[in-house]
Amino acid sequence: MASGTLQDGLIDPQNGFGPVQSLTGRDSKPLRQQIFEQVRAHALIPRSELAKSLNISPATVTALTADLIAEGLLREVSGAQRETGRGRPPVALEVISEARYTIGIKISEEVHSAVLCDLSGNVVAKAKLQTPSLRKPLAELVQECRTLAEELLLQAGKSLDDVSIVSAGIAGIVDHNTGIVTWSPTLTERDANLKEALSVSFGKPCTIDNDANMLTLAELWFGIGRTRPDFVVVTIEHGVGMGIVINSQLFRGTRGLGTEFGHTKVQLDGALCRCGRRGCLEAYLADYALAREASTALGISRLSPMSLPDMLETLYEQAKAGNKGAQTIFRRAGRYLAVGLSNIINLIDPEMIILSGEKARFDYLYADEVFAETQALALDQSRAPCLIEMQTWDQYVWARGAAALALGELTDRIFSEARTA
C-alpha cells in the first residue's frame, strides 16, 4: 500500500487537496492561479513558503495574495508552524472554502453516487441512488442525476443557486471536449450529448468525462498521486479502465477519447466484450466477464435469480475453498491482467501504476505472481521495476473524482474571467 496517513483511501485531509505541483517550468497558468492552487494543495501555508515553492519574490507573493484576499478567494489565519522554535507563529493563508460549491456525480449501472464539495475540496454532503441495472434513455438518466443532486442540496441546506458547476462521470467512450458519449453500457442511445442535457437540466455549466478519468483525478487530488507528477491508474470493476497523468495533468489523447485500456485486444476472435467486439481485455477481467465464466464453473443456470455481486462472491469463496474451476477463472484473468500491465509499462514507462477502485479485493487478480509476471513481460530487466500500488476506496471515490474535475474547471473559469476583466 501507499505510504502516508490514509483515511477511507484518502491522504490526511489536513494536508490539503489537489496536486502538489511539480514545478518544471511548463506551467502555463497565471501566477495568481498557481498561488491559489498551492494554497489549496497545502491547506495552510505562510507567504514565505509560497515564495519558496514557486520560486518568486516575497514582494510578488504579498501583492498577489492581497488581490486574492480582496476577491474573497483566500484569507489569513494564524497557527502555521514555525520554521524555528522562536518567535510567534507566522500568519498563513487558506482557501475560503465556502466561496464556491461544486457537484460531482458518478453515473453507474446499479447505484449512482454524488458529492457536494466546497472550493477547497471538502465533501459537504454525499448521497447515492439505487437504479435498475438496465440501459436507459438519456432523459431518464439526467432526471436521476437531478434527483441525486436535490438530495445533496437538501442535506447541506443549500440550493442550486449555491452551485457553480456540475460534473459527471460515466462508463464508456466519452468525448470530454464535446460532451458526447459515443457509447456507454448505461445509455440506450449512441452519440448522446450528455453534457448539453445536464447543462439544460441544471441550468449550470456542466462537464463530463469517462469514469476511469474521474478515478484518476481522485488519485491526483485526494490520493497517493498528489505528490507524483506522472502515474497511471488502472481500475477493474464493471469494466476495465485506465487514466494517465503526465506533469500533474490528465492525459486524454488528441481527441479526448484515448486511454481505453479495457478495449485493447489481447486475443483475436476471443471472448465477446460488451462493446460488441471480441478479444478485449475487459472481456476477461471485468465483473460481467468473471460472472459469465462462473455460471459454467459453478453450474449456475443463466435463469438463476442470483445477482452479479452474489455470483462473484460465490465464485471467490469457491476459489478460496479449493474449487479448481473457480481458481482457473481467476488465474487466467490474472495472467491477462499481467499482459495488460506489462504493455502499459512498455508503452508509457510510468513511475507508478495504481490499481484503484472500490472493489480491488480479489487477491487472485492482485497476487504476487501476477505482478512478478508483469515485470517479467516488461522490457529492460536491468532498470528499476515500475512501482505497482494498490488503493481501495469507498463507493464515493468516483463522485469525488467528478468533483475534482468540476473544481479544476471552476478554478480555470475564475482566473480566466479575472484576466478578461
Position of cell 459537504? 124
Lowest mean pLDDT among 5-14, 152-161, 238-247, 268-277: 5-14
Same domain, 88 and 145: no
DSSP per-residue letters across 200-227: HHHTS-EEEEEHHHHHHHHHHHHSTTTT
pLDDT above 80 for 32: yes
Residue 151 within any structural domain of the chain: yes
Place 162 in a pLDDT band, splitting at 50, 70 and 90.
very high
- If you average pLDDT over residues 28-44, what whole number do you get? 93
Same domain, 195 and 232: no
Lowest mean pLDDT among 73-82, 226-235, 288-297: 73-82
Same domain, 54 and 136: no
Q: Which of 30, 63, 95 is the last residue of a domain?
A: 95
- If you average pLDDT over residues 360-384, what whole number do you get? 77
Same domain, 209 and 136: yes
**Amino acid at residue number 301:** S
Place 27 in a pLDDT band, splitting at 50, 70 and 90.
low
Q: Which of 95, 120, 138 is the last residue of a domain?
A: 95
Instruction: Give the three-class secondary structure for 367.
Output: coil
**Amino acid at residue number 392:** T
Same domain, 161 and 83: no
In tens, the pLDDT along 87-137 reads 556 789 999 999 999 999 999 988 999 999 999 999 999 999 999 878 999
What's the CA gap between 376 and 196, in Å, rounded? 46
* Residue, of 301 and 222, whose pLDDT is higher: 222
Residue 404 within any structural domain of the chain: yes
Same domain, 73 and 125: no
Lowest mean pLDDT among 40-44, 98-102, 187-191, 361-365: 361-365
* Confidence (pLDDT) at 24: 45
Residue 37 contacts by C-beta under 8 Å, 6 or more apart in sequence? 18, 21, 29, 411
Q: Domain with 159 in it: what CATH number? A: 3.30.420.40
pLDDT above 80 for 79: no
Residue 157 within any structural domain of the chain: yes
- If you average pLDDT over residues 26-32, what whole number do you get? 80
What's the CA gap between 256 and 218, in Å, rounded? 19
Place 245 in a pLDDT band, splitting at 50, 70 and 90.
very high
What's the CA gap between 265 and 395, in Å, rounded? 29
Terminal-to-terminal C-alpha distance of the chain: 46
- If you average pLDDT over residues 354-359, what whole number do you get? 75
- If you average pLDDT over residues 166-181, what whole number do you get? 94
Residue 222 within any structural domain of the chain: no
Residue 1 within any structural domain of the chain: no
* Confidence (pLDDT) at 89: 61
Same domain, 119 and 188: yes
pLDDT above 60 for 255: yes
Residue 415 within any structural domain of the chain: yes
* Confidence (pLDDT) at 418: 67
Q: Domain with 36 in it: what CATH number? A: 1.10.10.10
- Sign of the C-alpha dihedral computed for residues 212, 217, 223 and 229 taken in this order: positive
> What average pLDDT is seen over the chain?
87
* Confidence (pLDDT) at 10: 40
All three cell numbers of 381, joined, read 530487466
* Confidence (pLDDT) at 298: 79
* Confidence (pLDDT) at 219: 94
Same domain, 377 and 403: no
What's the CA gap between 149 and 145, in Å, rounded? 6
- If you average pLDDT over residues 299-316, what whole number do you get? 77
Same domain, 129 and 235: no
Same domain, 387 and 402: no
pLDDT above 80 for 419: no
Residue 223 within any structural domain of the chain: no
Same domain, 72 and 17: yes
How many domains is the chain partitioned into structurally?
A: 3
Same domain, 59 and 108: no
* Confidence (pLDDT) at 3: 28
Domain that holds residue 23: 6-95
Position of cell 462462473? 294
* Residue, of 14 and 379, whose pLDDT is higher: 379
* Confidence (pLDDT) at 6: 32
What's the CA gap between 232 and 209, in Å, rounded? 17
Residue 113 within any structural domain of the chain: yes
